[in-house]
Amino acid sequence: MATDAATTQLGADLGLTRADLIEMYRLIAITRAIDERMWILNRAGKIPFVISGQGHEGAQVGLAYSLRKGHDWMVPYYRSVASLITFGMHPREIMIAQFAKGVDPSSGGRQMPGHYGVKDRNILSVSSPVTTQVLHATGIALAAKLRKTDQVAITYTGEGSSNQGDFFEALNFAGIHKLPVVFVVENNGYAISVPMSMQSSVPDIAMRGEGFGMPGVIVDGADVLDCYRTGKEAIDRARRGDGPTLIEAKVTRMTAHSSDDQQTKYRTAEDLQAGQERDPLPRFREELRQAGVLDEATEAKLLAESKVVVEDATDWAESQSDPDPATAQRHVYADAPPARMDDPFWQTERFIGDGGPTSRGGAS
């Protein structure tokens, strides 16, 4: 058992208080609880699709914890729930995206689950073509630099995405201009079914940083405090104007790629078991217990709170209305189509609507 003297020291060298440590643990635990609920809802037939971040949460919370909420920019990907909750998204906002209801702030029910985005918190909307967002984060950082806003942009991809051309183009440009951007690769070893050995001839994505004039840092994604330290160094470095950092967090994908995937088809039982053992949640819990940060009462309180939050988010999200189909034409352009603005829909609507043209008109 750690002594009292030691317990006061955990995280102190990083400037973290006991309250910070408990908050980081809470963010990981709540994200896990939300994620597990998504799968239950999917298996119960209530939501058609889940894409999961189980196993990534420790890295996500640690790396994002020193961002300035409402000031910096987060450009996430589809496994980023823990990053997003750390950066200010509410569990209700995460859960309503699963149900795709009308008041979903990410997309109003237009996008699949996992495609989050909230403008008032500087969280950019996610799309499905992977890696496009890495260039958006680079552009956001370019604007931050030119406008002198003191903002940092952080963006996330999987290691699968890191093979797309956009990844290299983004690192290259960010390196040239020393842009205030942090590139995070959450390497869970699989691009859906394709293992790292078939994705890259070298074991680490981080070494690509050197080729673009930036540090490439590897961090154990289950080591939450090391992720915090790594994230803070990169964010501080970016804010100082010293340029971008590439961070590769080695994480584990504890679920299938998505609810439409069966990972036992391409992963061995041993590999799956080893993956479960790299779960950041029990590791961080044990670390905090050993340090005396997390006592039984606190744990019980967090567990109870987590249940309430998940219940609330689920019940609230499920009870919201579906979007009105009449709104599906909105937000194609900034302005509503003026009378002379032609869109095929407007052209054909009156024919479709009344069953087609029924008479020769007009010219007679």
Partner 1 sequence: MAVRTMIDSIRETLADEMRRDETIIVLGEDVGKKGGVFLATDGLYDEFGGDRVIDTPLTESMIIGASIGAAINGLRPVPEIQFADFIMPAFNQIVSEAARMRYRSNGAFSCPITIRAPYGGGVHGALYHSQSVEAFFSHVPGLKVVIPSTPHDARGLLRSSIRDEDPVLFFEHKKMYRSVRGDVPDSDYVVPLGSAKVTREGSQVTLVGYGLMAQYSLEAADILDSDGIRAEVVDVRCLRPLDTATILESVRKTGKCVVVYEDNRFGGYGAEIAAILAEEAFDYLDGPVVRVTGPDVPGVPYNHVLEDWFMPDPERIATAARRLAGY
Q: Count CB neighbours of 167 within 10 A.
A: 21
Q: Token match 């069966």: residue?
A: 262
Helix (H) or strand (E) holding 157: strand 153-158
Does residue 136 interact with partner 1 by CB under 8 A? yes
Rank residues 312 and 324 by Cβ distance to partner 1 and give the closer one: 324
Does residue 142 interact with partner 1 by CB under 8 A? yes
Please say whether the beta carbons of 321 and 102 come within 8 A.
Answer: yes
Active site residue 266: yes
Work out which of 7, 8, 149, 193 binds partner 1, going by CB under 8 A: 149
Rank residues 116 and 228 by Cβ distance to partner 1 and give the closer one: 116
Active-site choice (32, 92, 257, 285): 257
Residue 138: CB minimum distance to partner 1, A: 5
Active site residue 257: yes
Quote the CA–CA distance of 236 and 244 in Å, as a whole number.
Answer: 10
Active site residue 253: yes
> Which residues in 168-207 contact partner 1 (CB under 8 A)?
169-170, 172-173, 176
Does residue 238 interact with partner 1 by CB under 8 A? no
User: Chain-centre distance of CA 28, in angstroms?
Assistant: 13
**Beta-bridge partner residues of 182:** 154, 245
Active-site choice (37, 253, 278, 285): 253
Backbone torsions φ then ψ of 116, nearest 5 degrees: -85, 170
DSSP structure string for 29-57: HHHHHHHHHHHHHHHTTSSS--B--TTTH
Q: Which residues bind partner 1 (CB under 8 A)?
A: 73, 75, 104-108, 110-111, 115, 117-119, 124-125, 127-129, 132, 134-144, 146-147, 149, 151, 153, 165-166, 169-170, 172-173, 176, 330-335, 337-343, 347-348, 351, 360-364
Which active-site residues does the annotation give?
Answer: 253, 257, 266
